[in-house]
């Protein structure tokens, strides 16, 4: 039937990080190519996109906290079965970088259920050069120290957003 969507795999990808770092904007940018001012909502939301990974069709379900992170914790069910986790900070707010170590990485390690879960640190808002508080070097070192991939992005300027998700997805694909 023409409406049957054949996919070889489904990968669950999560976005975590402080409120306002640009998680929803990254997801919107990647899933539709668009960018808009977003009204924060409560509850968990996800978007799906089918991508090609090494000749195979992979359905990505990408989960966004949609505001739950303001309570500084997400539920274990949010993390269940995730094969890829994107830890996002805002390069113009150092406290959002500190939160990766203080909150988000700890929670990921506590709840992440898939052994070979791939982690990626995303340094967003790279367009805010004047207000930058976290250097690329700092972000890269942190990512390396914790076994994470690292990409600097701008959801606003559409810089490296597709690249970030694609790199993560290929790594998840490679890990079997
Ligand atoms: P979330 O709370 O992590 O989901 O963050 P949002 O996606 O809602 O973004 C928070 C604010 O940052 C919004 O006003 C966005 O328009 C803005 N924003 C998101 N990404 C970027 C970016 O790459 N550069 C700049 N300058 N602003 C961004």
Tell me the best of 17, 19, 20, 25 to mutate to test the pocket of ligand 1, counting ligand atoms within 8 Å of each CB and taking the most: 25
Tokens of 145: 């120290």
Tell whether ligand 1 has an atom less than 6 A from the beta carbon of residue 171. no
What's the CA-to-centroid distance between 174 and ligand 1, angstroms?
31
Task: Give SS3 for 64.
Answer: strand
Tell whether ligand 1 has an atom less than 6 A from the beta carbon of residue 155. yes
Tell whether ligand 1 has an atom less than 6 A from the beta carbon of residue 19. yes
Tokens of 9: 């795999």
The span from the first CA to the last CA of the chain, in angstroms, equals 29
Tell whether ligand 1 has an atom less than 6 A from the beta carbon of residue 156. yes
Q: Each residue's pLDDT tens digit in the chain (176 positions)? A: 445 567 888 999 999 999 999 998 999 888 877 666 666 555 567 788 888 888 888 889 898 875 666 665 566 777 888 999 999 999 999 999 999 999 899 888 887 666 678 999 999 999 999 999 999 999 999 999 999 999 999 999 999 999 999 999 999 988 86
């Amino acid at each position: 039937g023409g409406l049957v969507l054949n996919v070889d795999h489904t990968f669950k990808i999560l976005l975590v990080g402080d409120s306002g770092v640009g998680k929803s904007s990254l997801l919107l940018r990647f899933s539709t190519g668009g960018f808009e001012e977003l009204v924060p909502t409560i509850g968990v939301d996800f978007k799906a996109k089918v991508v090609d990974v090494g000749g195979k069709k992979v359905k990505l379900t990408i989960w966004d906290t949609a505001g739950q992170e303001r309570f500084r914790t997400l539920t274990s069910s949010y993390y269940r079965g995730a094969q890829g986790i994107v830890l996002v900070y805002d390069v113009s707010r150092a406290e959002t970088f500190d939160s990766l170590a203080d909150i988000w990485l700890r929670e990921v390690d506590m709840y992440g259920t898939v052994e070979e879960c791939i982690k990626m640190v995303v340094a967003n808002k790279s367009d805010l050069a004047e207000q930058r508080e976290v250097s690329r070097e700092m972000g890269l070192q942190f990512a390396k120290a914790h076994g994470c991939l690292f990409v600097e992005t701008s959801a606003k300027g559409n810089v490296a957003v597709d690249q970030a998700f694609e790199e993560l997805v290929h790594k998840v694909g490679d890990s079997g």
